[in-house]
Structure 1
Amino acid sequence: MNEKIILDINEKPKPAVWLTLSFQHLFAMFGATILVPFLVKMDPSVALISSGIGTLIFLLITKFRVPAYLGSSFAFIAPLIAAQTGGGPGAAMVGSMMAGAVYAAVALIIKATGHRWILRLLPPVVVGPVIIVIGLGLAGTAVQMATNNPAGDYSLLHLSAALVTLSVTIIFSVYIKGFFNLIPVLIGIASGYLYSLAIGIVDFSKVANAKFLEMPNFTMPFLDYQPEFSWQIFLLMAPVALVTLSEHIGHQMVLSSVVDRDLVQNPGLHRSIMGDGLATFAAALLGGPPNTTYGENIGVLAITRVYSVFILGGAAVLAIAFGFIGKISALISSIPTPVMGGVSILLFGIIASSGLRMMIDSKIDLGDKRSLIISSVILVIGIGGAVIKIGNSFELHGMALAAIIGVVLNLVLPGSESKQKNAHKEGRSGQSSAVS
C-alpha cells in the first residue's frame, strides 16, 4: 500500500489510544447491531454481548491475523421473524445454530478442496439479486415502523420522528467529514430520540427504574427451550447462509486489499468462515441474532490505517461490558419504533442498492438472456414471497427459495465458465458492499 500503516495487525497500541480507537469501532457497528434485535424482538443487550463474544471467537480462530468485527446480520431478519412466528424464540435460535453449522461444514470442505468451487456456486449474478431481495423484502416493515403509532394506526406525529432521524442520518452521511461520518446511523438514532423526547413519544420510566448492572434476557437451550431439529426451520434459515457466505468472501477480499495481505490464503478462507460460523452458533446459544463481518468496521480500518487486532478485541470487550449495563439496555429499549423505522428506510434501501452495485461492478450484462433470466426469477420469487409447501413439515419460501432457485439456474443454464470467472474477479470490490 502507498499510505503508511500507523499500527499493523499484531502491534499493540498505548492504553489511551487503544481505548479511544476501540470505542470508535464500537460506535461504527453499534447502530446496525442493535437495530437487528430491535426488529426481530430480541434483547439488544444480548446482541451486543454475542457480537463481542463472536468477534473474540473469530479473532481466536483466525490466529489473530484478520482484523474484523462481527455484528448482527441483516440477512437473517426476515427468516428470524418467520421462525419466531411459526415456532417461537426457540425455533429462531435453533435455526441460527443450523446456519452456523452450515458455515462450519463449508469451512471444512474448503479446507479439504480449496475455495474456487464456492466462487463458482455463488457468482454475482446470483448473490446480487438475492441481496436486492433482502433489502426490498424489508421495505414494507420499515415504512410501517416509520408511519404507525404503537396501536398500529397512521400517525403524522410519529412519522415526523422518522423523518428527523432519516434526515440527520443522511446529512451526516453526505455532508459531514471525519469521525462523525463513520457513525451516521448512531447519530441519526440519537437525534431522533432527542426529537421524540421533545414531542412526548418516549417512555423514559424504564431507564429511570433500571439498575446500573443487570443480567440481560438470555434465551438459552434446555433452560428456556428444548432444541428440536426441523426441516422447515432448516430450509428457512440455512439457505440464507449462501448469501452471507458470499458477503463474507467479499469482505475478506476487500480487507486483504486494505491491510495489504492475502487473508484468503493466510490464515485461509476456511478459518475465517469457521470463525464466522462459530460466532453465529455462540450467538444462538445466548439468544442473539446471527453474526457477520461488518463492512462499517472495514471502512474504519481503511480510513484510520490502524489494523491492530488488539483494538478490534478491545471493541469486543467494550460491547460485552455494555450488554451488562442495565441503564444502557433500558435506554436502547426506550427508542421509539418510528426512530428505528426512519433509519431502516435508509439502511434497507442501501442493502438493496448494494446488490445492484455488485451486479454493476461485476459487469453483469442484463442484455444477456442467461443473466436476465436468473436475476428476474430471483427478484420476483423473493420479493413476491413464493412458497413451496409439502404437508405440514416442509416449507420453503421467500428469500431462501429465491437463493436456492438462483443457484440451480446458474448451474443448469448454459453459459461461459470464463465469463463467470471474469465476473468474480471484476466483482470482488462490489461484494464488499453486501449486506451486514
Structure 2
Amino acid sequence: MSKAILDVNDKPTSGQLITLSFQHMFAMFGSTILVPQLVGLSPAIALLTSGIATIIFLMITRFQVPAYLGSSFAFIAPILLAVNGLGESGKAINPGNAMIGAVFVGLVYGIVSLIIWKSGYKWIMKLLPPIVVGPVIMVIGLGLAGVAVDMAMNITNVDTGLKEYSFLHFSAALVTLFTAIICTIFFKNIISTMPILIGLVVGYLYSILIGIVDFTPVKEASFLALPDFLVPGVHYDFEVTSKILLIMVPIVIVTISEHIGHQLVLGKVVNRDYIKEPGLHRSLLGDGLGTFVSALIGGPPKTTYGENIGVLAITRVYSVYVIMGAAVVAILLSFFGKGMALITTIPTAVLGGVSILLFGIIASSGLRMLVEANIDFGNSRNLVIASVILVIGIGGAKFIVTEALSIEGMALAAIVGVVLNWILPGRKEAESSGNDTIE
C-alpha cells in the first residue's frame, strides 16, 4: 500500500487546503447537481445540504472518516414517483412532501445505527447479502434507462405539449456522453474521477455553439441569492402519508448496503477498519443525520460518494481537513446566484447524455457486486432471487393494499428480495460459504 502524503488527521498548508478542497468539490459537483436537476429540486440547495451533511458526518464520526456526502441516485425514481403520484387526498404530491419521506429515511438510519450500536453489525451483513443488493442496484440504473434516453433524444413541442425527436439535442447528448466516456477510459489521473463534470462542461459548450442554451435566467439572477429552501410548515404543509413512506423508506435497504460498501472500500484506501472504529453505527448515523437535516430544508437524500473516494486513492491525501474544506466551498458556492442560474440553463439533452453513462454504471456496479461476491447462478436459489428482483423492479410491479396504500417498483423489489433470501432454502449454506455476505 502506498504511503499517505497527508494522513487522515494531518493538517495541510493553506495552499494545499484551498486547491485540494476545490478538487474534491469538483469531483462531487456533477453528480450532486444532477440529482436535483432530474427531480425538480434546487441545485443550490443540493450543494448547500451536501456541505452541511458532510460536516455533520465528520463530526459524528469524530473526524476519523474522510468521506464526502452528496445527492443519492437511489432516490431519483422514488422522488419522481412521489412528485408525479397522488396523495391520499387525491392531490398531487409536491417535492416538499417527498422530502417528508426523506426525513423518515434519516430516522430509519438512526434506528438502524442504534440497533447496530447495541447488537453489533453482523446481522445487517446477513440481512443484505450481495444476491439481494446487487440486483436491486441494477434495478436503480435500468429502471431509469428510459428517463435518460428520453431526456437525450426528445424535446417538448411548445405548441402541442408533446414529446418529439430532435437530432440537434440528441447530438448534444452524444457529445456529452462520449466526452465522459473518453475521460473515464483514456485518463488515469484526477480527470478520470470527474467524467460527469467534464462531460457536462463540454456538452454545455457544444450546446452554446449550436444555439440551444437560453441565458435569460443568468441575466435575471443576482450575484448573491439564497437557495430555494423547502421547509415543512413554511413552504408546504407537513403531511405524512403511508404512500409517501412506502415509496421512500424501503430504499434504505439499498442505501445502507451502499454505505457499507463505501466504508469497506474507503477503509482499504486509507488502511483503516471503519466498520469497527469509529464503527458502522457512527458512520450510518452521520449519513442518516445528514439526510435528515438535508430533507428538512429541501435537499435530496445523501450518501457517501465513490467519486471522492477515488480522489483519495489517486492523490493519497486523506486529510479530513480537506474534506471539511470542500464542504465549506460547496456551502459558499450555493449562495452564488449567477452560478446557480447558469446551472439551470444546462439543456435537458446534456443531462440526458451524462445520465445514460451514469445510470448504466449504477446498473453495472450491481452486476460487479455479484461477480466479486462469486455468486453462483448455477444455483437455482440465486437465480430465482435475482430474476424476481429484476423483473419486479424494472417492470414496475405494484402491491396495492388500498387506493392510498401501495408498494411499487424498486421499493417492492428490495422488500421481495430480502424476504426471498430469508425464506428460500439454502440461506445458511450461502452464509457459511462466505460468498453471500458484504464483507
TM-based fold match above 0.5: yes
Q: Give, as a single letter, the amino acid of the residue that structure 1 aligns with 2:330.
A: A
Find the aligned partners of 2:370 and 2:363 in 1 and give their Cα distance.
Answer: 11
Gaps of 5+ in 1: 429-436
Does 2:104 correspond to 1:98?
yes
Aligned to 1:224, the other structure's residue is in SS state coil
Find the aligned partners of 2:245 and 2:216 in 1 and give their Cα distance.
Answer: 40
Find the aligned partners of 2:204 and 2:195 in 1 and give their Cα distance.
Answer: 14
Find the aligned partners of 1:423 and 1:286 in 2 and give their Cα distance.
Answer: 41
- Equivalent residue for 1:4? 3
Aligned to 1:160, the other structure's residue is in SS state helix
- Equivalent residue for 1:434? none
Aligned to 1:202, the other structure's residue is in SS state coil
Q: CA deviation at 1:242?
A: 0.6
Does the CA-based 8 Å contact 1:130-1:243 persist in structure 2? yes
**Normalization by structure 1: what TM-score?**
0.96
Find the aligned partners of 2:23 and 2:46 in 1 and give their Cα distance.
Answer: 18
Find the aligned partners of 2:117 and 2:430 in 1 and give their Cα distance.
Answer: 26
Q: Which runs of 4+ in 1 moved over 4 A?
A: none
- Equivalent residue for 1:432? none
> What do residues 174-222 of structure 1 show as CA deviations (whole Å, max 9, x unaligned)?
1123222221111110000011001110001211221111111111111
Q: Give, as a single letter, the amino acid of the residue that structure 1 aligns with 2:119.
A: T
Q: Give the alignment partner of residue 389 of structure 1, picking from 377, 392, 400.
A: 400
- Equivalent residue for 1:28? 27
- Equivalent residue for 1:356? 367
Q: Give, as a single letter, the amino acid of the residue that structure 1 aligns with 2:352.
A: G
Q: CA deviation at 1:417?
A: 2.1
Does the CA-based 8 Å contact 2:227-2:334 persist in structure 1? yes
Does 2:289 correspond to 1:278?
yes
Q: CA deviation at 1:75?
A: 0.2
Does 2:424 correspond to 1:407?
no
Does 2:435 correspond to 1:423?
yes
Q: CA deviation at 1:349?
A: 0.4
Find the aligned partners of 2:65 and 2:364 in 1 and give their Cα distance.
Answer: 27
Q: Report matched runs for 1:4-403 at 5 Å.
A: 4-86=3-85, 87-151=93-157, 152-403=163-414
Find the aligned partners of 1:79 and 1:239 in 2 and give their Cα distance.
Answer: 10
Find the aligned partners of 2:286 and 2:305 in 1 and give their Cα distance.
Answer: 14
User: Which deviates further from its counterpart, 342-351 or 411-420?
Assistant: 411-420
Does the CA-based 8 Å contact 2:375-2:382 persist in structure 1? yes
User: Which deviates further from its counterpart, 101-110 or 169-178?
Assistant: 169-178
Aligned to 2:285, the other structure's residue is in SS state helix
User: Which deviates further from its counterpart, 60-69 or 230-239?
Assistant: 230-239
Q: Give, as a single letter, the amino acid of the residue that structure 1 aligns with 2:38.
A: L
Does the CA-based 8 Å contact 2:21-2:326 persist in structure 1? yes
User: Which deviates further from its counterpart, 121-130 or 178-187?
Assistant: 178-187
**Normalization by structure 2: what TM-score?**
0.95
Does the CA-based 8 Å contact 2:139-2:393 persist in structure 1? yes
Aligned to 1:423, the other structure's residue is in SS state coil
Does the CA-based 8 Å contact 2:28-2:308 persist in structure 1? yes
Q: CA deviation at 1:418?
A: 4.6
Aligned to 1:219, the other structure's residue is in SS state coil
> What do residues 284-309 of structure 1 show as CA deviations (whole Å, max 9, x unaligned)?
01111100000111111111111100
Q: How many residues align?
A: 426
Does the CA-based 8 Å contact 2:131-2:436 persist in structure 1? no
Q: Give, as a single letter, the amino acid of the residue that structure 2 aligns with 1:82.
A: L
Find the aligned partners of 2:148 and 2:232 in 1 and give their Cα distance.
Answer: 31
Q: CA deviation at 1:392?
A: 2.1
Among the aligned pairs, what percent are the same residue? Answer: 59
Find the aligned partners of 1:149 and 1:247 in 2 and give their Cα distance.
Answer: 34
Find the aligned partners of 2:131 and 2:253 in 1 and give their Cα distance.
Answer: 13
Does the CA-based 8 Å contact 1:73-1:291 persist in structure 2? yes
Find the aligned partners of 1:19 and 1:264 in 2 and give their Cα distance.
Answer: 30
Q: CA deviation at 1:393?
A: 2.3
Does the CA-based 8 Å contact 1:119-1:424 persist in structure 2? no
Find the aligned partners of 1:177 and 1:367 in 2 and give their Cα distance.
Answer: 36
Does the CA-based 8 Å contact 1:57-1:275 persist in structure 2? yes
Q: Give, as a single letter, the amino acid of the residue that structure 1 aligns with 2:332.
A: A
Q: CA deviation at 1:147?
A: 0.3
